[in-house]
Amino acid sequence: MTRRHATLTTSLGDLLVVADGDALAGIYFEGHWHPPAADSIGVEVEARGDTLVSRFGRQLDEYLAGKRSAFDLPMAPIGDEFQLAVWAMLRDIPHGATTSYGELAVRLGDRNLARRVGNAVGRNPISIVVPCHRVVGADGSLTGYAGGLERKRMLLELEGAAIVAQARLF
């Protein structure tokens, strides 16, 4: 298989889904802060005709219906060593829980890395599946989200997460 992309229409808006071989390489919202370069998304395919994209679509529908709390999909995000470490930590945040950029920095061994963690979180190429929406401000408030704060709020509310006041750390 080759690098390819399809667009899925969802209750969150259209999602650009990029696959590379048998793994997800990107999921991007309309108006995403850091969209992929047009020459990096491969050929366009029909979503329902692509096994991986269809599988993601089914799992996303289950998640949005409250019937799924985790995704079971192969992923191949492209990033530097630090970004990959941060994105791996994002996958460890339980459904319905939140953490802060500072807490992730502490887990990496240096609270002063919080801004760098924020940059890595903001560049997460596999939205929703790698749950960067579960990272909030130190006081539990909503902070930036590459797909927009309304989508972040919607995802957190769907999961029953506390979105204002104290962050529930994992």
CATH of the domain at 152: 1.10.10.10
88 with 154, same domain: the answer is yes
Residues contacting 156, CB < 8 A, separation 6+: 98, 133, 134, 142, 163
Of the candidates 32, 39, 34, which has an alpha carbon nearest to the alpha carbon of residue 5? 39
- Tell me the catalytic residues: 132
Q: Provide the pLDDT for residue 141.
A: 84
117 with 152, same domain: the answer is yes
Query: What does the pLDDT look like over 117-152, one tens digit per residue?
Result: 999 999 999 999 999 999 999 888 888 899 999 999
60 with 88, same domain: the answer is no
37 domain residue, yes or no:
yes
126 domain residue, yes or no:
yes
* Average pLDDT for the chain: 92
Which residue is it, tokens 């104290």? Answer: 166
User: Quick one: pLDDT band at residue 44, thresholds 50, 70, 90?
Assistant: very high
Q: Provide the pLDDT for residue 22.
A: 95
Q: Provide the pLDDT for residue 163.
A: 66
165 domain residue, yes or no:
no
Rg of the chain taking only CA atoms, in angstroms:
15
- Dihedral, CA of residue 20, residue 92, residue 143 and residue 108, to nearest 10: -100
Provide the domain limits for residue 126.
81-159
pTM to 2 decimal places: 0.91
88 with 136, same domain: the answer is yes
